[in-house]
Chain A
Amino acid sequence: MKSQALQEMIKKVFSDEKTKLQFMSNPESVIAQFKLTEQEKTAVLNTHARLGLATADSQQLEAIIEPLSNWL
């Protein structure tokens, strides 16, 4: 199901430099401003821990997504 709160958070991080910097130094303080579910919070923090959410490039993404894409 679509998550309005998650969409709003990503939009804010990617359109507002101040929020992006805040997210990079303290992601939980930005997450707290949006009504994310527990699983969404974990997903954001996991992605950030593995990639650096606001800074990842395509090569870093390729490296982590490849293994799941083999069956379908």
Chain B
Amino acid sequence: MWQKRQFELLRDEIAVALASLAEVADLQSLVRQPLSQPRRGLAALSADGRPWPLLPLIVCEAICGSYRHALPAAAAIQLFMAAGDVFDDIEDADSSESLSARYGPAVATNVATTLLSLAEKSITRLKDRGVADSVIVRVTDAVNSFFMSACAGQHLDLSLSSDIAISEDDYLRVVGMKSASQVECACHIGALLANERQELVDIFAKFGHNLGMAAQITNDIRGVTRGSDILEHKNTLPVIYALTQAEGESRKQLELAFRKPSESVADPTQIRDLLFRIGAIHYTTIKTEFYKQLALDNLSEIERHGTSVERLKSFLE
């Protein structure tokens, strides 16, 4: 099975990166932990069968028929994302399972910084795979630009998190920078390593952006239906929509539930039912479907360039 083989090769590539930490086995072990989380490169294939960590390899293979030369870049993206997960946990301080909670913010910060350094080193290993220096420079620049965008998005998110009156446009901008940029990066880098045609690289980047927007907005819906975002007073798209529509008692209930800082804990079932009644969950589901539609349009455009998109379509099904 092609996925199994690509996952094995990706894990081997990550293992090469981690080998440089062999002298400090304790740090190596800590660095492995975020990489072994369900959605990251050292984890087993996810139950839903969607191979997210392989996205750059799938894009690369779709264009040029091979992917092995892109493995160091795919590993780098996993290392960058794992670093982001650890930093997120330090900033949010909302998980008792995080490295930060178990070992303290100092150790966690060092683990995240180590992951960033390993990611940069991974990119330089593209040279060992025969990738031209000029392409490596472009990959380095692109990866750093996307993750800088993710940091800027995170800053905006932190700055706006106490503002209950955030607009949908502002929210979508933050999601695009903070979350979708990572999927965009995976697709952009995969395409960059497969060909020199900027036009095709750009279309793949747009596909990644739209896929990333759909994935994050899906997370928003899940956060509400499961109640976790209600308990944490997270002001996500369903809530933003609801606040533009709700009046009277319903609006008061929402303001009380999502105002920060807040000592009150809203009843998740009650708030979730309210969001359903107003149509906020349905509106958000349509927004997910909207971005999936844009991503499908991107794939049609990619197909017109003679590139097979079958494996990429599976991310949208």
Contacts and interface: CB of A to CB of B under 8 A. Distances in A.
Contacts of B182: 71-72
B33 to A, nearest CB: 18
A60 B305 CA distance: 37
A24 B82 CA distance: 45
B196 interface: no
Contacts of B315: 68
Interface in A34-72: 39-40, 42-44, 46-47, 51, 53-54, 56-58, 61-62, 64-72
B216 A53 contact: no
B294 A6 contact: no
Given A1-B172, A61-B281, A61-B285, A66 B222 contact: yes
Contacts, number: 111
Interface string B298-313: 0000000000000000
- The dominant DSSP class at the A interface is helix
Given A70-B52, A71-B183, A10 B218 contact: no
Interface stretch (B7-15, B89-97, B271-279): B271-279
Contact of A68 (B218, B244, B278, B282): B218
B222 A62 contact: yes
Contacts of B285: 47, 51, 56, 61, 64-65
Interface residues of A, number: 33
Contacts of B31: none
A7 B290 contact: no
B27 to A, nearest CB: 26
Interface of A: 1-2, 6-7, 10-11, 13-15, 39-40, 42-44, 46-47, 51, 53-54, 56-58, 61-62, 64-72
Interface of B: 38-39, 46, 48, 50, 52-53, 167-169, 172, 179, 182-183, 212, 214-216, 218-219, 221-222, 225, 241, 244-245, 272, 276-279, 281-283, 285-290, 292-294, 297, 315, 317
21 contacts: A1-B172, A2-B167, A2-B169, A10-B241, A10-B283, A11-B245, A14-B279, A14-B282, A39-B297, A43-B289, A43-B290, A54-B282, A56-B285, A61-B221, A62-B222, A62-B225, A65-B225, A66-B222, A68-B214, A68-B315, A70-B38
